């Protein structure tokens, strides 16, 4: 049986960023993917790097801020190693908070110019957004570059064959059994996203939270230049003139079908903000499965089985959290003190 220092299950952005970190630390790494690398949640995401406090659960805020700070370097390194370009934008976000209670926030996050100047295509309204200095990234560019960078660094991949179980020998993780074969490693990390709970022996309580989105071609390339976030819809411009409009949050099991009426609602909410989008051609619609957990926090760190680790459950923020997750999981796995307290994210919290 072939063996590696580490096996990572799941070639989404979390598994990939950790694989690269561990390879940099000198380990041999195999990534096992049930389908095609990078084609699940990490492909479906919008790519907002939304570290602004309101929507991130409190225990996650320090990690979110640290990860947002790491992004320019993270992207730069992946571009360098893959030879691929990643669309990372720093124009900032216009954020429409839900209620009037956010008056104080308005003062602490003023618009740098009038709304008419920042986004001339906006429908005139008496609601003013906050300005937040968040970046956004094209997640498909990001995962494609991470896959290429991983290959370039000599990380091995097994694709199209799901991991089913971790075999434990002498009380430690030793072998990963797939449908077709088995691979050996002293360290195994479950990064299987919404499917993480399906691999034996531990049933992590992850579940899929479906998100439908669509993408249009802006009638003028820079019709929208900021990310726009409101309670009904968000808009994420790409530098090539596409605009991503998202997203639903649905409990629909592992279903990834799009529903025309639902997409119409998202499009209508976008038109309410930017009437000129009525002329925008729809390029694509899709749905993806966010890895959700009961308390909306990720599951990070060791498990009850020595040698078996987990990094999943990043829900709505896995693109944002990929760089910091790779780094802190590398620290845990190589026996260093992680730079953040990971107690709130321990797999143990779900053991009854
Ligand atoms: C519509 C939508 C919009 C989003 N927008 C944003 C956003 O703006 N910003 C942000 O930060 N995040 C966003 N997210 C969340 C983000 O996409 C996820 O948190 C992140 O991609 C999770 O990464 P992952 O690697 O854990 O999961 P995934 O990308 O799903 O990767 C898990 C991988 O594991 C593989 N796998 C599963 N089971 C097995 C098995 N048994 N054996 C082998 N392989 C297996 C899967 O095939 C998959 O490739 C969004 C998600 C969705 C769906």
Residues 6+ apart with CB under 8 A from 55: 316
Bridging pattern class, strands 308-312 and 182-190? parallel
Asked if residue 214 and residue 331 are part of one domain, the reply reads no
Q: How far apart are CA 235 and CA 216, in angstroms?
A: 10
- 194 Cα: distance to centroid of ligand 1 (angstroms): 7
> Structure pTM?
0.98
Q: Which of 254, 271, 292 is the last residue before a domain boundary?
A: 292
Asked if residue 165 and residue 111 are part of one domain, the reply reads no
Asked if residue 77 and residue 187 are part of one domain, the reply reads yes
Bridging pattern class, strands 130-132 and 93-95? antiparallel
Asked if residue 184 and residue 213 are part of one domain, the reply reads no
Nearest 5°: phi and psi at 300? -135, 130
Query: Is ligand 1 within 6 A of the CB of residue 162?
Result: yes
Asked if the structure places residue 88 within a domain, the reply is no
Query: Of the residues 316, 320, 323, which should be mutated to test ligand 1's pocket, given the most ligand atoms within 8 Å of the CB?
Result: 316
Asked if the structure places residue 168 within a domain, the reply is yes
Can you tell me which atom of ligand 1 is nearest the CA of 42? 21
Asked if the structure places residue 87 within a domain, the reply is no
Asked if the structure places residue 9 within a domain, the reply is yes
* CATH code, 219: 3.30.9.10
Query: Of the residues 193, 198, 234, 285, which should be mutated to test ligand 1's pocket, given the most ligand atoms within 8 Å of the CB?
Result: 193
Q: Which of 242, 261, 292 is the last residue before a domain boundary?
A: 292
Query: Is ligand 1 within 6 A of the CB of residue 45?
Result: yes
Can you tell me which atom of ligand 1 is nearest the CA of 211? 1
Asked if residue 248 and residue 150 are part of one domain, the reply reads no
CA atoms within 13 A on the CB side of 58: 0
Asked if residue 48 and residue 177 are part of one domain, the reply reads yes
Residues 6+ apart with CB under 8 A from 283: 215, 216, 217, 242
**Token representation of residue 281:** 């051609």
Q: How far apart are CA 222 and CA 178, in angstroms?
A: 47
pLDDT tens-digit profile, the chain (352 residues):
899 999 999 999 999 999 999 999 999 999 999 999 999 999 999 999 998 877 899 999 999 999 999 999 999 999 999 999 999 999 999 998 876 556 667 777 889 999 999 999 999 887 889 999 999 999 999 999 999 999 999 999 999 999 999 999 999 999 999 999 999 999 999 999 999 999 999 889 999 999 999 999 999 989 999 999 998 999 999 999 999 999 999 999 999 999 999 999 999 999 999 999 998 999 999 999 999 999 999 999 999 999 999 999 999 999 999 999 999 999 999 999 999 999 999 999 998 6
Query: Of the residues 290, 310, 323, which should be mutated to test ligand 1's pocket, given the most ligand atoms within 8 Å of the CB?
Result: 290
Asked if the structure places residue 321 within a domain, the reply is yes
Query: Is ligand 1 within 6 A of the CB of residue 326?
Result: no
Asked if residue 65 and residue 155 are part of one domain, the reply reads yes
Can you tell me which atom of ligand 1 is nearest the CA of 47? 8
- How far is Cα of residue 298 from the mean position of the Cα atoms in its chain? 11
**Token representation of residue 131:** 């300005």
Asked if residue 212 and residue 183 are part of one domain, the reply reads no
Q: Which of 250, 271, 292 is the last residue before a domain boundary?
A: 292
Q: Residues 72, 75, 77, 81: what is their CA dihedral angle, to the nearest 10 degrees? A: -160
Buried-state track 126-156, b at ≥16 Cβ within 10 A, e below 16? eeebbbbebbbbbbbbbbbbbbbbbeeeebb
Query: Of the residues 7, 35, 45, which should be mutated to test ligand 1's pocket, given the most ligand atoms within 8 Å of the CB?
Result: 45
Q: How would you classify residue 154: left for phi > 0, otherwise alpha for psi between -120 and 50, otherwise beta?
A: left
Asked if residue 78 and residue 9 are part of one domain, the reply reads yes
Asked if residue 172 and residue 33 are part of one domain, the reply reads yes
Asked if the structure places residue 162 within a domain, the reply is yes
Tell me what percent of the residues of the chain surpass a pLDDT of 90: 90
- 112 Cα: distance to centroid of ligand 1 (angstroms): 34
Neighbours of 301 (CB within 10 A): 19
* CATH code, 183: 3.50.50.60
Asked if the structure places residue 99 within a domain, the reply is yes
Q: How far apart are CA 80 and CA 67, in angstroms?
A: 19
Q: Residues 16, 17, 20, 24: what is their CA dihedral angle, to the nearest 10 degrees? A: -160
Domain with 246, as residue range(s), is: 93-132+208-292
Q: Give, using CA atoms, the residue closest to atom 33 of ligand 1.
A: 10
- 108 Cα: distance to centroid of ligand 1 (angstroms): 33
- 41 Cα: distance to centroid of ligand 1 (angstroms): 3
Query: Is ligand 1 within 6 A of the CB of residue 211?
Result: yes
Asked if residue 59 and residue 17 are part of one domain, the reply reads yes
pLDDT in tens, 262-314: 999 999 999 999 999 998 999 999 999 999 999 999 999 999 999 999 999 99
Query: Is ligand 1 within 6 A of the CB of residue 10?
Result: yes
| List of E strands, 197-334 | 207-217, 227-229, 234-237, 242-246, 281-292, 299-302, 308-312
Classify 190 as helix, strand or coil: strand
pLDDT given for residue 228 in this prediction:
96
Asked if residue 195 and residue 108 are part of one domain, the reply reads no
* H helix intervals, 34-169: 41-44, 61-82, 103-108, 115-118, 139-152
The structural domain count of the chain equals: 2
Q: Which residue has the tokens 């299950």?
A: 9
């Amino acid at each position: 049986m072939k063996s590696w220092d580490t096996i990572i299950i799941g070639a989404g952005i979390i598994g990939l960023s950790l694989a690269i970190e561990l390879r940099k630390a000198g380990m041999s790494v195999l990534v096992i993917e049930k389908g095609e690398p990078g084609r699940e949640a990490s492909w479906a995401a919008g790519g907002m790097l939304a570290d602004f406090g309101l929507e991130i659960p409190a225990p996650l805020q320090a990690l979110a801020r640290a990860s947002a700070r790491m992004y320019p370097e993270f992207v730069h390194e992946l571009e360098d190693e893959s030879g691929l370009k990643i669309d990372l934008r720093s124009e900032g976000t216009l954020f429409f908070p839900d209620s009037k209670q956010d008056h104080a926030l308005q003062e602490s996050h003023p618009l740098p110019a009038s709304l008419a100047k920042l986004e001339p295509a906006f429908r005139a309204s008496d609601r003013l957004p906050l300005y937040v200095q968040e970046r956004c990234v094209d997640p498909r560019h990001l995962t494609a570059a991470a896959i290429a960078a991983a290959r370039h660094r000599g990380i091995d991949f097994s694709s199209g064959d799901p991991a089913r179980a971790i075999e434990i020998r002498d009380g430690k993780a030793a072998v990963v059994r797939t449908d077709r074969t088995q691979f050996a490693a002293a360290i195994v990390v479950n990064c299987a996203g919404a499917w993480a709970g399906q691999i034996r022996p531990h049933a992590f309580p992850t579940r899929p939270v479906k998100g439908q989105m669509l993408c249009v071609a802006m009638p003028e390339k820079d019709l929208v230049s900021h990310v726009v976030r409101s309670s009904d819809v968000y808009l994420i411009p790409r530098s090539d003139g596409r605009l991503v409009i998202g997203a639903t949050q649905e409990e629909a099991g592992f279903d990834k079908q799009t529903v025309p009426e639902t997409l119409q609602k998202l499009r209508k909410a976008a038109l309410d903000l930017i009437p000129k989008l009525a002329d925008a051609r729809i390029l694509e619609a899709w749905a993806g499965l966010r890895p959700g957990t009961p308390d909306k926090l990720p599951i990070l760190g060791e498990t009850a089985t020595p040698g078996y680790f987990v990094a999943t459950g990043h829900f709505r923020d896995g693109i944002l959290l990929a760089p910091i997750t790779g780094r802190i999981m590398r620290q845990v796995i190589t026996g260093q003190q992680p730079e953040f307290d990971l107690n709130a994210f321990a797999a143990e919290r779900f053991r009854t």
